[in-house]
Each structure stands twice: as structure tokens, then as C-alpha cells.
Amino acid sequence: MRHYTSDDYKASVWEVESGRKILPDLNHGDAVMSAEFSPEGLMILTASLDGSARLWDAYSMQPIELNPVLRHVSRLMQASFAPDGHRIVAAGADGTAYTWDLAGSITIPMALSGVVSDDGTRLLLTNKNTFRILDTASMKSVEPAIQVDSPLLEARLSSNGRFALTVTANYEGPNLLGKLVRVWDCATGACVSSPIALTNRTARVSLSCDGQRLVVVTERGVRLWSTKDGKPVGPVKVHREPVSGAVLSSDGSRLAIFGGNLVSLWDTSSGHEVCAPLRHPLPVSVAEFSLAGHTIVTACKDNQLSQGEARVWDASTGKPIGHPMIHRDGILCAAFSRDGRRVITGGEDFTAVIWDVKTGNPTSAPMRQENQVRGVAFSPNGRWVATAALDGVARVWDAITGEPVTPPLKHPGVLQFVRYSADGYTLITANESGQIWRWDLRPDLRPSEDILLLSQLLSGAQSTASPGPGTLEERRGVWRSLRSAYPDDFAVSQEEVLGWHSRYARVSQTAQHWAAVVFHLSHLAALNPKDSTVLGRLKQSEDHLAEEKSR
């Protein structure tokens, strides 16, 4: 069954034997130029002049649950599945070929519950009165599980992932006095602080990068504590308005406190304010230091549809750098590139924008999500940026062009955090419930010429302005050449084949698509002819298929 139309903005599915149209139409915003089934028949891929390729459930005709729309800059002429069904090649009207890896669309990433360091290098997992630290790139434990003397109320990592703080209840006999904070070296698992007793049960705590200072935030103000001797460092630093948050620079020399429309900058050595408060037209929503600590970006928002503003300031003088960076609505998040030359902001206007720090001018077009952008991050090399949105969708973008380089990466719940691992090949996302996802972003290291050949092979000469392999013999030659150069890319283990057929046999059986069930179970039976369970299921499915054809 296959039919597509290119003049009425929709694709239709028809039954071959009867010639009647079945199921609802697949709608686009412009003419549909191609449509095809996936190899196993579970999905339909359409391409349209509206610049999108779309994935549909072949039974319900609804967009697939995860990431159904793959958007492109140019109008699309064709989109095709690779033979294994794991990749899509799309051909643009401007002669550009796009290759999509469907892992981001149909594969669920590793999901955990825990806390991630701000730099994305470490993951902290807790279980009652124990915790352990994992490297986010390798997912290997840095040290064996560390045990504390009572159940954990909270655990956090320093922004560089080198130290962890734990919060437990502080009792004297049956009486609860408050909270007890300890600091741990993540490399050795040793406790490196004196216990710090806090009587304010609602106080928020964070840790300096060197593990030497504890930042305690209350509505009244902020206080620093020495983790070495467990004593406060200077008096409470009082903000002029109720405190929303505080952040230390990476070297610990500057403390920024924000609340209301103001940000106050403090020298941690002298305990004095560096300058007059930094002022915004709306309540301040975020403050972040650059990696070197020489500059700070702050942004604001309110509960109305008001223009949001972000500014970069000199952290030593409080003087503004560049023009104000404006969103059409409030700004929720901001982050520096590692070299401190660019800033990315995310807003309530559903966009993220990259800005030049010196001028305050945008360096790319706005990157548009389908909901408010709650988290942003640069990759370590500054080549990519990632965004996380209120609707649970994360995405990776080209930091130069502002174009998406992955499909939407969907999650349950509201996303509020996104970071890269130190090697840049892993994306870490987290939602408000403390669930964490780890996405594998390892790049395709094959030469672009070979990727182009593969694109031409899969989707024909339409996939590029340059001529592709034309005759069948030419295509066979390209196939043999690529297979010889990259044998691992063309090899599939028996376990993978068994897993693939088993999975889609179940999915097809649930959907009562008996032709697909017979297809997958027949392959399973051929691979394992002594499996009586598979043979029984195959016989039942063949009976269902025969009954379906006789109607």
C-alpha cells in the first residue's frame, strides 16, 4: 500500500487489492513530494516543500510518539529510509543532502535519578545513606559508594565535579536542630571538611570549585563558611531585596547575589561589595560567571509578556560590556562559551540566541523551540549548543549557523538542565523530578565525501546538486567500495538481528499487523529453528494473516 500526492498538501494510504483509501490523510503545510514505508512497515516517512520530513505511525496515521518532525532550512524534494531503517536521507531543493540518525527519534537514552555537576563531568547518585560519583562520559564510578552516618536529605556537586556536599538531619537526642553539611573529595571518597551545622532548615547550600567555601543562601542574605574549620567567613552579606540566588566565580574570588531587580557583586577576600548593584528593568532570573571569572552575565523576566534583557558585566568593576541582549519575553537561562567570547540565552519567547560578548549583537538566527527554553549550554569546543525546553524537548544546534543538528530529543516532564560531558560526545539532560538522561552524541568520523556517496546511494541523484551513482552497476560499485572501507558499519551481530526481529514482532502483534508479524517471526524461526515458542507464534500469525486475506 503506497500513494502520495504533491498538490493537496497531504499523503494518503491505499489498499492495493481494493483500491480504496484507508486511514486518515497525512497532512503537511505544503505539497508532499515523497512518501514511503520503513523497511519493517511500522512507520511512514513523508517529505514536503514545507521544509519538513515527518514520521508517522503506519497503523494510526498519527505522528510517532517521539520526535515526529525533522525540520530543514530548504524545501524538501525527497526523503528515504536507509535499508536498516536506522537512518534517513533527505534531499533539499537547494541541492543539499541531510542525513538523520534515528537514534534520537526512536531510541530511549539511558535514564537515571541523581545530580549532575554544572560542567557536566560528574554524576552523583544517592541511595538512602550512601552515594557514589560517576564520570558522565564513561559512566564508570570514580570511587566505590561512600556511606554517611544517617539518611541523606540532599547531595550536590561543586560546579567542576571535584567535590560533593551532603546534607543530613542534625539531631540532639530526639530534637531536630537543623541540618548538618559535610564535604567530600570525589577522587578519593574522603570527607575533607568539619561538620557544618545550619539551624535554618530552608537554607540553600552550594560549594566552591576548590571545596573550601560553602555558600549558604537564605531570603535575608548569603553567608560563606570555611569547610576546613566549619566556621563562618565574615558576616552575612545582606542584599537590598529578598534573595533569589547566589553564585561563586570558578576561582572563588567573586560572589554574585541576585534578588528583585538587582545583582550585587562581592569580593570574597575583603567581604566588601565590588561596585554599586547591577540593575535590570525586571526581576533578575539568572546570573552566571564566565569560566575565567572575569565577566558575568545576568538576565531578567517577570510574570507578564514583557521584553527580557540580558547583560554582560565586568566582574571587577561592574561596568556593562556590549549592548543589552533582548528577547521578546523574559529570559530564563544563560551560559558562556568556554572561551568567554559568546553567550547563549534562552527565553519565554520559545527561542535561544547566541550573542557576541563584546558587542552584544546576535551571531546567529534565533533557535526556535516549541516552548519556553529552560536550559542552554555550549559544547566544550564551542561548535555546538544545546537547549532544553518546558515541553520536555532538548535539541543540539550548530553554534555558527543556528541550524538543528539532531532531531528533537523528547523527555517526560519539564526539562530544566542541559550540559555536555567534558569530551563533548555526551549530552546530559535533567527534569524537575531529578531524572537524568544521557544522550550519546558521538560524531560520524567518516570523510564527508563518503557520507555524500552513501546519501546519493540511498536517495538517488536528487539528494545533491552533484551527480550521484546512476546505473545499477555504478550503485553496486559504490556499495562494494563503502562496505570494503567500513566493514563494521555494514556488519550486524546475530544478537542485534534477533533483538530487532523480536522487538518489532511484538510491536506488530500488538497492532495486529499480521503480515509484519509473519515477516519478523519467519526470520526468528530461521535463525533459531528449535525455538518452539517462536514456531507456535508464527503458526498463529499465519492463520490470522490467512483469515485477514479471506475477508
Average pLDDT over residues 351-374: 96
What confidence score (pLDDT) does residue 21 get? 63
CA dihedral 502, 504, 507, 510 (to 10 degrees): -70
Mean pLDDT of the chain: 85
Q: Write down the H helix ranges in 358-513.
A: 448-459, 472-485, 487-490, 494-510
Closest CA relative to residue 69, chosen from 50, 85, 82, 94: 50
Note the pLDDT of residue 106. 44
The grid cell for 154 is 540532599
Q: What is the mean pLDDT of residues 382-401?
A: 95
Q: Model-level pTM?
A: 0.68
Q: What is the pLDDT of residues 244-284, one digit of tens each?
A: 999 999 999 999 999 999 999 999 999 999 999 999 999 99
Those residues whose C-beta lies under 8 Å from the C-beta of residue 292, and which sit 6 or more positions away, are: 250, 340
Q: Which of 419-433, 437-451, 485-499 has the highest mean pLDDT?
A: 419-433
Cα(490)–Cα(58) distance, integer angstroms: 27
Question: What percent of the chain has pLDDT above 90?
Answer: 45
Output the pLDDT for position 4: 43
Q: How confident is the model at residue 232 (pLDDT cuts 50, 70, 90)?
A: very high
Whether 308 has a pLDDT exceeding 60, the answer reads yes
Per-residue pLDDT for 104 more than 50?
no
Q: Which pLDDT does position 498 carry in this prediction? A: 80
Per-residue pLDDT tens digits for 26-59? 777 778 888 888 776 677 888 888 888 888 777 6
Q: What are phi and psi of 523, to 5 degrees?
A: -65, -40
Q: Is the pLDDT of residue 345 over 60?
A: yes
138-152, 310-324, 366-380: which range is least confident on average?
A: 138-152
**Gap between the Cα atoms of 311 and 333, Å rounded:** 12
Name 85's Cβ contacts closer than 8 Å, sequence gap at least 6: 38, 39, 40, 102
Q: Kindly state the percentage of the chain with pLDDT values over 70.
A: 85
Distance CA(534)–CA(523), nearest Å, equals: 10
Mean local confidence (pLDDT), 5-22: 63
pLDDT at residue 3 in the model: 42
Greater confidence (233 vs 24) lies with: 233
Is residue 525 classed as helix, strand or coil in its secondary structure?
helix
The domain limits of the chain are: 10-106, 127-234, 494-550
Query: What is residue 108's predicted lDDT score, i.e. its pLDDT?
Result: 45
| 2 — pLDDT class (breaks 50, 70, 90) | very low
The C-alpha atoms of residue 144 and residue 234 are separated, in whole angstroms, by 36
How far lies 241's CA from each of 200, 255, 523, in Å? 19, 16, 69
Instruction: Report how far residue 500's alpha carbon sits from residue 522's, in angstroms, rounded to the nearest whole number.
Output: 13
- Residue 5 reports pLDDT greater than 50: no
542 or 435, higher pLDDT: 542
Task: Give residue-wise pLDDT tens across range 115-145.
Answer: 889 888 888 988 888 898 988 877 788 777 8
